[in-house]
Amino acid sequence: MKNTLRMSMLVAAVAFGAAGGSAAVTWWNTPWTRTSVAQERVALIRQNLARANDFSEAFKLTAQAVRPSVVSISSVKKAKFDTRLRQRPGARPDMQGMPDELRRFFGDSPFERMFPQMPDGEPSQEGLGSGVIVSADGYILTNNHVVSGADEVTVTFADGKQLKAKIVGADKATDVAVVKVDAQGLPAAVLGDSDSVAVGEWVLAVGSPLGFDQTVTSGIISAKGRQVGVTNGGYEDFLQTDCAINPGNSGGPLVNLRGEVIGINTAIASRSGGFSGIGFAIPVNMAQSIMSQIRSTGKVTRGRIGAAIQDLTEDLAKSFGYEGREGALVGDVVPNSPAAKAGLQAGDIVVKFQGKPVKTSSQLRNAVAATAPDTTAEIEFIRDGKPVTVKVHVGALSEDDVAASAADGGETPTPESLGLAVLPLTSELAKQRGLKESTTGMLVTGVQPGSVGDRAGLREGDIVVSVGNQTLRSVDDFRKTMTSQNLAAGVRLQIVRDGVTRFLFVRVNN
């Protein structure tokens, strides 16, 4: 019995060893394993620290390279006061020239009590921004809004030295300005290529936020090609960054880790007025082009081809048999313009300009504007599903705008699916809107709030000239054409608004 029990225990032990042998080995080797893991972790930490130190060194070296080229710019704008305020009839005796023994009976005038230290009644307003030196002989790039309207501009350099500067020129449409100081041998920054910048790339912003000069912040490029409306209809193609940018950073450089300036810090998106993680910089390629014109001619001249363009929506693209949304849709072509002479037509979709792909209407607008007048450019567009390439002789952009006046009229109901009221466009109504008297279409005199037409973007005063490919000449044409359309699938309208032709897509959602 005892021998049988011993044999059973031995078999059980062998079985346990066979089943758990690996566990037994692991247990006996635990001290060695722990030592090995600790050594590996130390090696990994050292490796990561080395990488972090290299990264930190890159930031440090970049800041050291660019900071000498960054300046603070203070501007003074004197507000003019009418000195006759001191001599209003019936107010109080003029204190000018009055003997001191009599002055004490009247005291100082209210004006003098309000502005005791201001000679000639001229208080001043001060502004603070940043700039970057772009040439050794004193040219400095900054923002227009930093120096706009300034009577005096003072530049403070990295070493604390101050010099008066003159405004060479400025461009409100891009918010670029150039100022110059009388100096030589200045540390000019290296200008990079903003077209090659990629989203996610590390960048530094340098400037004088809130008056703290030579401040360096870091972040990445968050997006490209932003239009945010800060130039009031100007030419915007901003780089977006999460570098900390605050008031006073305006005009300072945005640089890559090679120490190259790739942008000029311009604006922030903020509800509080301070940094909230979204900043915008003018691409340096655009700023450099504007600066070159300002330095050579003192003004900026832009190219023009005479075509009204708009972005594509998915529905508009499909209505033209075009796949995708990249490109610029031509809504209208000005008669006798470079675009008209080149053969462009409403409905063409521009996909390339000067060999470069066109993704949005803003991109095309900026590219045309940046093209020197009297040069020939190549445009590729899609018409009826086929690519067409033409040459266009770029003209010069003027400041003239086509204005449209309001009109009165009765109401004629259109199909309820649109919620519109329209009138036939008579020759007199067309003339009032600056259009050819032969122009035909329907004048929108009312839009029902929340209706299909309202959601599609139709507005009172719009002129609907075609539905699909059908030109409109009467209200009956409009009614019959709309009735024959499959509004569930959607229909394309061509309209004229404020003298400019564009397309809208109307669809009834089931």
Report, as residue numbers or ranges, the catalytic residues.
145, 175, 250
Determine the Cα–Cα distance for residues 429 and 327; give it in Å rounded to an integer.
34
In sequence order, the β-bridge partners of residue 58 are: none
- What is the phi/psi pair of residue 165, to 5°? -125, 155
3-state secondary structure of 414: coil
Task: Take residue 180 and report the two structure tokens written for it.
Answer: 């110059």
Region of residue 343 (left: phi > 0; alpha: psi -120 to 50; beta: else): left
The answer to whether the beta carbons of residues 442 and 472 sit under 8 Å apart is yes
Those residues whose C-beta lies under 8 Å from the C-beta of residue 495, and which sit 6 or more positions away, are 458, 462, 463, 464, 465, 501, 502, 503, 504
Question: How many Å from the N-terminal Cα to the C-terminal Cα in the chain?
Answer: 89
In order of 275, 290, 329, 333, the CA distances from 339 in angstroms are 43, 24, 13, 7
Q: Rounded to 5 degrees, what angle do the CA atoms 43, 49, 51 make?
A: 105
The token pair at 59 is 């930031």
CA-based nearest residue to 241, from 210, 273, 197, 272: 197
